[in-house]
Structure 1
Amino acid sequence: MMKTLKEKLLQLKEKRKLYLLLKYISGAFLFIVFSILLLFSLVYFNVFGKLPDKEELTSIINEEASLIYSSDDIVIGKIFAENRTNIQLAQIPNHLKEALIATEDKRFYSHNGYDGQSYARVFFRSILLRDSSGGGGSTITQQLIKNLYGRQYDGVLSLPINKIKELIIASRIEKLYTKDEILLLYLNSVPFGENSFGIESAANRFFNKSVSELNIEESTVLIGMLKANTYYNPRLHPKNALQRRNTVLQLMKSENYLSQKTADSLQKTPIALNYHNLDLNTSAGYFNYQVKKKATEIIKVVNESSNNNYNLETDGLKIHTTLNYEIQKIAEKSAKKQLIIKQKQLDKELASNRLRNRWLKKQQFTQEDKQNRTLQLFDWDSTKTITGNKIDSLWYYDKMLNASVLVTNPKNGAVISWVGGNNFNTLPFDMVLSHRQIASAFKPFLYATALENGISPCDYFENEEKTYPKYENWKPQNADYSSTPDKKVALWYALIKSMNIPSVNLYFKLEREWLVDTCKKLLFPEITDDAPSIALGTLDVSLYEATRAYGTFANNGEMNDLYMIDKITDKQGNIIYESTTQEAKRIFTKESSQTLTTILQKAVEQGTGSSIRNRYKIKSPLASKTGTAQNYTNAWFMAYTPNIVFGTWVGTSKNDVHFTSGNGSGSSLALPIVANILKEIENNPELKNKYLTSFDIPEDIASSINCSPYREKGIKGFFNRLFGKKKEEN
């Protein structure tokens, strides 16, 4: 009896415990439900930040990069806050959509923006059972919201608040957009790493094709990256990417998008990557940088004048430029080829003349600068990794030869090609705009000034060395140290041979202000002193200024300012800016320009530019002039036809390191770059017919230089002229 009572008391006690437990559980459950409802209500009524309303959601527009096009319609660059190019629904292949749905959201077409089954799986497997393989609970719609609006930090409540926000916004979006429209928004917004956003940018980056051209294997690689875009990056981690791609293929098979046979077959194929990163491998980096600067100025004016608000970084504008992509590639290839050859020659000279020791004495280094470390240096084919110190790095770059090439159309000023240096990403300083001593490439402007002021190409000038006490006993010499005390030299011949002594004598025959005025018209830097050495090209001029000025001779005495942008359109193709025909500025008379061109054509045949015919076998009509600065510090070569002007400069970044032999002359260092460009153009019938056109110079002007290159001085010369000696030999 007593035992039965005890049992009953124990049972009663157990029931009470159970009742209390159920009470606590119910209370906790009700508290959790109440808390969730309260939190949901607080989020819904914008306590934790305003949620996008219907009007905002119906006007979702992904930011889009502006594209830079060459004149032959090649995309050569992008301007962006986020590297994104949006696509239309019709461009998305079915297999891409199927791969996305099979991998990210199997019930995409059946849920309303949130997936209850996924939430249950996440709660039980990922949270309660701590199973990291349980997967995430976000639908494609919710992932889209995360891509568009990001997530904010609210302390310990960050995760539930952000999940509730995504759930609410997802349900709103599902009421406003079709499922396929949501897929499109998602694919246009999703990040793929490497500062690349949207499926079109990813397709271009990793496979160098548009999204509409992707095959199943490529689509599954890109969809596989969505789980972890760095870990599954096919360039950085090809094995991980291959494994993930095959997982996506199996998921597609599980959802019956692929047969087992097709899935197995595709899994055996390697990833055929065709990596194309405009940021790293751009063929026109220096040009694109200038285009961005110009386009920014243009858009600012357009916005102010039309009350618009265009944004270069976000509005997907299309910038159509003057650059010819084919010639740009030729110019870059030609510069690279020449510099690789000449760098070896320079390194050999530097090793033998102990210039590095003299260079070291001019530097100031700390003890830290002398400590060795791993250095990554620019190399033509790839980044060069060496073990060295800061001194080694500085010497490497100080002795590095750089080249700049500028090609323009003299008739309108359009920039056809712009090579600002060896590599824009590692060496961004633009040598096209760098001011360097122009050397003998300046002489045509001196001689054209003389022609403008009544001096004939058959006037003769002294070619005898002379000292000028007024100018600190300056004694100019010809480059080959020759002189002809008993003979004078004709103006035309002095120019084609680039003689210094006759050029100085010509300078003194002119009014100095005439030359200063010419330079001012050509928009050269101001001449601030009265040194006669200006006649030999001591003025510092940029390749940009020099090429524009040579265009004056090609264009019969009229100079056009250079420009790079033909037009800008919005993403729908509406023109918002279009360049207008500029009025050329008259610098020289047509007759003077044609006479000067006749002389410079002669320089190609038998003067300083003759190797372009003799060695490189260039047959096209051409006028040219070389330039070699003192001590071989700067090498120039300028050439033109009526439809194209070529300018190139070669040298080191500083004048401290340079050739000490004729290997550093304009004809040896700079001329071959233009010669190789010309050779490629001659082999292309379309480019040849367009640019390598003949000069149309009247016979009387062409024959105006048909006089003897030398004239003997004194009585002998007088009698030779009196009795009609026709030609005096060199």
Structure 2
Amino acid sequence: MATKKASAKDKKRSLGRHIRTFWKIFAGLILLIVLMFLMASWGVFGSLPDETSLENPEKNLATEIISSDGKTIGKFYKENRTPVPYDSLPDHLINALIATEDVRFYDHSGIDGRGTLRAIAFLGSKGGASTISQQLAKLFFTEQVSRNKFQRGLQKVKEWIIATRLERRYTKEEIITMYFNEYDFVNQAVGIESAANIYFDKPPSQLSTIESATLVGMFKNASLYNPIRNPEGVKNRRNVVLAQMEKYDYISEKVKDSLQALPLNIEFTPQGHDEGSATYFREYARHFMENWIKEHPKSDGSKYNIYQDGLKVYVTIDSKMQLHAENAVKTHMANLQAVFDKQNKGNKTAPFRDITEKETEGIINSAMRKSDRWREMKKQGKEEEEIIESFKKAIPMRVFSWQGDIDTIMTPLDSIRYHKSFLQAAMMSMTPQTGEVKAWVGGIDYKHYKYDMVKKGRRQIGSTFKPFVYATAIDQMHMSPCDTLPNTLYTIPAGKHNLLKPWAPKNSGGSYGGMVSLKNALANSINTITARLIDRVGPEPVIDLVKKMGANTENIPAVPSIALGTADLSVYEMVGAYSTFANEGVYIEPILIQRIEDKNGTVLYQNVPKTRDVISDETAYVTTSLMEGVTQSGTGTRLRGNWAVNSPFYKEVMTGYPYDFKNPIAGKTGTTQNNSDGWFMGMVPNLVTGVWVGGDDRATHFRSTRYGQGATMALPIWGMYMKSCYADKDLNVSTDGFKRPSNLTIETNCAVWKDKDADKEEIPDEFDF
């Protein structure tokens, strides 16, 4: 008996020891965990953010380019992030996040105790325990997730500490907002604002329930659930989110079932620097900003960073008009290129014409030495012989086509010739009364052709220069559109107006005879009449007028042949100059950047228009009246009616025809020697638009004027653009007549006749200086 009692006491003491040992171990573990948290908070395992950084977490905020109609048309960024406020997040987006990532978000203080115990008990097989606050902490402050289990454990401890601090300092709404603004949705979509626009082409506030579920599904692993690379996986993940929303009563079962059956409907709208709308203009804006920040430092003396400081650049571009312009250029140029390629079949020097093999080789070699490949190899210290040989070796590359980029294998030399075979285009549209540029298309494809032909490119302008000659004559001699001059060969002798030899320009088609009014002469672009006018006024006053209208005239010689368009000017200069006519004789320097704000909305820059009086309102109106004759009877009549709708030629090259405009339009076509450059300048009272079309090199051109004139190459782009603008009633493009001055003393009501060769542009074919 005594032995049994002793044994029971021993067992009891042993049990007591085990219990005490358990509680000691348990208490030790608790103390160890507490100590670990304390040590982590003290920075023993690596620094934690201080109070200031918690309240102001550092971010790389994208600079936004915002159009005049409030659309973000581009960004400059290191990370494509633009923060949005909580009010801009729709309820179903927030509900999808809560239901999927942290259903007890509003009940915990950063750490979900129940979820943590569940994760420990089931070793994560029934879901993790990471709260939204912890995930935000991980995004904000911890390094890349470590694969080492011990280091990952320490990172987790840091996340818990930071999560609790975040909960103390921010409201639940602020934490949700920061999480949406911080997450990287891949494909250059950092934050919900970029993600909504890139994947669905809309702001977050307009996301539907199904679109919200798609984006929330990406929080699990954006690289894996990438809508572009893994659409099937994304759809499955989206359906899981919808099921979670139904589980927690955010949507009904019926709604869930109907939404799960729908396709993803991704509308991928990349925001890379080479992609999207207004690419050439955005590059102009980037250069503007880089120059601006050099001269406008912050209050502390440091410089703004356009890739990180979240500036807002408000520009004059209208997003709708920009799209209309880009669509017009793309549609016509693809069609025109097909005609050009057809004409080049059998041309041994294609895409060049009227040059020798040696001249062709010179063009290719010059382009080779200006290429990025050449510059890069030079930086690497390569010898010229080695560089040249590299241009002769076939390599994989991606080249441009109007059907989409093509992956192919060719030599860099062949690719130079290939890309030079494409005709180029440029276009700018501006409100003449304000100087605001509404559309800017610098080329056919920014990714492959980065040279901006709107402002940087200067090309011979042909007969679009003639209105400046007429305006000078009207201003100096009070001439009327109804005044007549003889349409006969006219010679300006050597020694006059700086001429080294006599100059006697000819009319295209050899059409001479009779007396011709100024209105008919400009409408039908008669060279001999223009020659008579510049002989009367002299070239210097014409150059002075063009200079006052904003053009760089340094390289324009003071000789009579400039009257026929020998000068090289840019689309930017031409639109600014023509706007002077539409704006009653007042020149306004084109405006592109309206104002700049910092991320807090403080205005840092406000544009102040630069204007000057150039000619009287009477001279401006009379010159405009002359140009109206171009579209009433002359090279611009293709804009009127549909009289040639069944013509095989019109069907082939006049993209978008018939245009059938009824309203007053002033304009002028222009064509240069060998059909190298085609222009059309078109004006209505509140919109002036210039279009240029031509090759990279002047040797790239059509074989005949019928195809190579401005009325064929450039005018259709203007026609399609304006048809789209008129169809969009929100744009309020004028259909009224031009404002008539109250003090008008010059007769403008003259009849115009249509020359039998009016369909052909007059070419300045004799440029003797």
- TM bin, normalised by shorter chain, reads 0.7 to 0.9
Q: Distance in 1 between matches of 2:394 and 2:537?
A: 58
1:220-262 CA-to-partner distances (Å, cap 9, x unmatched) read 2212212221321223211111122233344455666666665
Deviation larger for 341-350 or 445-454: 445-454
Give the Cα–Cα distance (whole angstroms) in 1 for the partners of residues 453 and 64 of structure 2: 25
Q: Which moved more, 1:184-193 or 1:114-123?
A: 114-123
Higher deviation after alignment, 440-449 or 104-113: 104-113
CA spacing shift, 1:700–1:518, aligned 2, 3 Å = closer
What is the distance in 1 between the residues matched to 2:114 and 2:548? 77
1:551 correspondence with 2:579: yes
* Residue 144 of structure 1, CA deviation: 0.8
Larger displacement relative to structure 2 (587-596 or 667-676): 587-596
What residue ranges of structure 2 are gaps of 5+ in the alignment? 1-20, 352-356, 369-387, 643-658, 756-769
SS at match of 2:680: strand
Aligned equivalent of 1:17: none
> 2:432–2:588: 8 Å Cα contact kept in structure 1?
yes
Contact 1:188–1:198 (8 Å) recurs in 2: yes
Aligned AA (1:148): F
| SS in structure 1 of the partner of residue 690 of structure 2 | strand
Q: 1:250-290, CA deviations, whole angstroms, 9 ceiling, x for partnerless residues? A: 44556666666655554333223233334476332223333
C-alpha contact 1:65 1:313 (8 A) present in aligned 2: yes
How big is the shift at 1:501? 3.8
Residues 72-108 of structure 1, C-alpha deviations (whole Å, 9 max, x = no match): 3333333444323333334444543443344434554
Aligned residue runs from structure 1 range 395-434, under 5 A: 395-433=417-455, 434=457
1:171 is matched with which residue? 164
Is structure 2 residue 40 aligned with structure 1 residue 46? no
Equivalent pair of 2:316/2:593 in contact (CA under 8 Å): yes
Match of 1:198 among 184, 191, 196: 191
Check whether the contact 1:405–1:646 (CA below 8 A) recurs between aligned residues.
yes
Query: 1:333 aligns to what?
Result: 327
**In structure 1, what is the Cα distance between the partners aligned to 2:201 and 2:590?**
32
* AA at the equivalent of 2:212: S
Instruction: Work out the percentage of aligned pairs sharing the same amino acid.
Output: 34
Q: Which has the larger radius of gyration?
A: 1
User: What one-letter code is carried by the residue in structure 1 that aligns with 2:93?
Assistant: L
Q: Look up the match of 2:627.
A: 600
TM-score (norm 2): 0.77
Q: How does 1:363-402 map to 2 (within 5 A)?
A: 363-364=364-365, 368-380=390-402, 382-402=404-424
Measured in 2, the distance between the counterparts of 1:507 and 1:94 equals 70
**Structure 2 SS opposite 1:453:** helix
Equivalent position of 2:132 in the other structure: 140
Q: Which of 63, 73, 77 is matched with 2:74 structurally?
A: 77
2:508 is paired with a residue of what secondary structure?
coil
Maintained 8 Å contact 1:643/1:692? no
Q: TM-score, normalised by structure 1?
A: 0.80
* Residue equivalent to 2:11: none
Contact kept? 1:636, 1:670, Cα under 8 Å: yes
Residues 164-563 of structure 1: matches in 2 within 5 Å? 164-252=157-245, 263-279=256-272, 282-294=276-288, 313-314=307-308, 316-356=310-350, 358=357, 361-362=361-362, 363-364=364-365, 368-380=390-402, 382-433=404-455, 434-454=457-477, 456-457=479-480, 458=483, 460=485, 463-464=488-489, 477-478=505-506, 480-482=508-510, 484=512, 491-525=518-552, 526-527=554-555, 529-563=557-591
Equivalent positions of 1:53-92 (< 5 A) are 53-60=50-57, 64-92=61-89
Mean Cα displacement is larger for which, 647-656 or 116-125? 116-125
Q: Is the Cα–Cα contact under 8 Å of residues 61 and 80 in structure 2 kept in the other structure?
A: yes
C-alpha distance in structure 2 between counterparts of 1:60 and 1:384, whole Å: 44
Greater CA drift, 117-126 or 512-521: 117-126
Q: Do the aligned residues in 2 keep the contact of 1:461 with 1:505 (CA within 8 Å)?
A: no
Q: Secondary structure at the match of 2:667?
A: strand
| Cα offsets for 1:150-178 (capped at 9, x unmatched) | 41799977545433332322222222223
Stretch deviating more after TM superposition (31-40 or 325-334):
31-40
Paired with 1:299 and 1:453, the residues of 2 have a C-alpha distance of 45
Matched residues, number? 680
Secondary structure of the structure 1 residue equivalent to 2:345? helix
- What is residue 665 of structure 1 aligned with on the other side? 709
Aligned-pair distance for 1:570?
Answer: 5.7
Q: How does 1:669-708 map to 2 (within 5 A)?
A: 669-683=713-727, 687=731, 690=734, 692-696=736-740, 700-703=745-748
SS at match of 1:226: helix
Q: Contact 1:200/1:211 (CA < 8 Å) preserved in 2?
A: yes
Q: Which amino acid aligns with 2:137?
A: I
Give the partner amino acid of 2:157.
I
Q: Which amino acid aligns with 1:561?
A: E
Larger helix percent = 1
Contact 2:37/2:161, CA 8 A, preserved across alignment: no
2:101 to 101, 104, 116: 104
**How far apart are the structure 2 equivalents of 1:474 and 1:225?**
76
Taking the aligned partners of 1:392 and 1:468, their CA distance within structure 2 comes to 48
Q: 2:688 aligns to what?
A: 645
The CA distance in 1 between the partners of 2:508 and 2:443, in whole Å, is 31
